[in-house]
Structure 1
Amino acid sequence: MTLEEINTSLKKYGIKKMASKKAAGRRLIEILTELNTQAHTTRNEAAPPKKAASKKPKGSSSDSKEQVDGNDADGSAKKKKKTSKKAEFVHEENRPLAEAFRSLGGYAMKDGSGNARFKGGTYMKAAKAFREYEEVVESGRQLKGKIKGVGPKVMALVDEFMETGVIAELQEYKATFGDDS
């Protein structure tokens, strides 16, 4: 088979032209093998050809947080330690509020009763929004309509935190589950 014939076959499956006959042949074999596997698993159903995902360049691995760093004396690859990503704040003044909501969200998800896990997700989203908010949060009313997903309940909790420095619901969770935030 010529390179042009292979590229014509690959075009049917949504793959761009390839310069190397060897690489194009390998890709075509992968697609045909995948189609053959699908044909055996779904005998009576005709499966449309899948659009193949683009290949990552060699050496890049976004799935793993560990990175290869050179070789050891025995030739095996050694790995760097995992790097923890600290949350970056647009305004450091919002850190206590965001951390309180992150903690509140974590406890709500631990609770698991009723709709607590949904509340937990809402509080986690609010914490992320406060980290990324372009202004210093001074009141709940200030947030109305500015941050998607921050409704009256969250605004009331923000006001409570700004006035007292604590959130009563968070204190209740800490009393119930222990202070392991």
Structure 2
Amino acid sequence: MIGPGFSDPVFQSQGAFRALLAALAEPGTRHVLPGAIIPPEGLQAATATALLTLADYETPIWLPPTLRDGAAGAWLRFHCGAALVSDPAQAAFAVIDGTAPEPALAAFDAGSDQFPDRSTTLIVQCAALKGGEAVTLTGPGIATTRVIAPSGLRPGFWAEVAANNEAYPLGIDLLLSHADAVLGLPRSTRIVEFA
């Protein structure tokens, strides 16, 4: 049985869209996504809300095979009409578990010189948005520097993010999600210090 999506799609998607924009405009700040939905198994509430807000039949989504073939995949196909793709490079939106060793961030579409905005937006599901390895951020939307410490990320994750930043204006945009909140890390945000 497929669970419900938004009870008030216009109001809830507008609120979530504003929160997602704010998260990407103010990198590293925690933003709660309103919507109060019960996500399908395998997706955090913030992940499900973001996809329900942003995805439609024109936006292919990549999920790990266990999610794609399970309740999460059925839920997204039903509520968004989105195509679920097996190749990470074909995805407009993608979801990974922060601890999963694959796929690498470089496996997703970094955009092109003509269309850097057509890169993948990757949602990384974390164990928490605090309590992990601290990293220092700088870039647009950050007055000086900002420190974040999400937990539940694979070894080498921050080195991958730093390599993604070096490709700017190409590169993927990241949303780190846990429970009902996200931290935005657009490709323009630089990782200036990490272990």
| TM-score interval, smaller chain | under 0.3
| Structure whose CA Rg is larger | 1
How does the TM-score come out when normalised to structure 2? 0.23
How does the TM-score come out when normalised to structure 1? 0.24
